[in-house]
Amino acid sequence: MEIILALILGLVAGAMGGLFGIGGGILIIPACVLMFGFNQQRAQGTSLVALLAPVGILGVLNYAKAGNVDWKVGAFIACGFVGGAFFGSKLALSIDENLMRKLFAAFLAVIAVYMFFKK
């Protein structure tokens, strides 16, 4: 079940990345906390595996040395992220520019409120 959830998370994060042009971490980190029960550092480390391993390998290694990376979940998120980014970008290109800007702003506001009030 964890693999399926990780793939779904990757698809959604990829779609949001393709749709809004954002880094998937804004979605992946809170989702890892909620879906997998990770602490903040483990969620951040796992997000780096999914998003930045080739580019941010030194950051990934630091999180891994501290035991704050779930390699399996991160790898499956990355697999889903590829497909999600493809379809999200296709969708974004079909949406009116003004609506896209408003959707992006609303998405950021929802995430900000959630992170602010999260205990």
Given a cut of 80, whether residue 18 has pLDDT beyond it is no
Distance from C-alpha of 112 to C-alpha of 26, rounded to nearest angstrom: 9
Residue 67 to residue 40: CA distance in whole angstroms = 12
Name the pTM for this structure. Answer: 0.64
Domain span holding position 92 = 2-117
Angle between helices 25-36 and 71-93 (to 10 degrees): 130
Tens digit of each residue's pLDDT (9 = 90 or more) over 61-82: 888 999 999 999 999 988 998 8
Q: What sign has the CA pseudo-torsion 50, 51, 52, 58?
A: negative
Give how many domains the chain has, as a whole number. 1
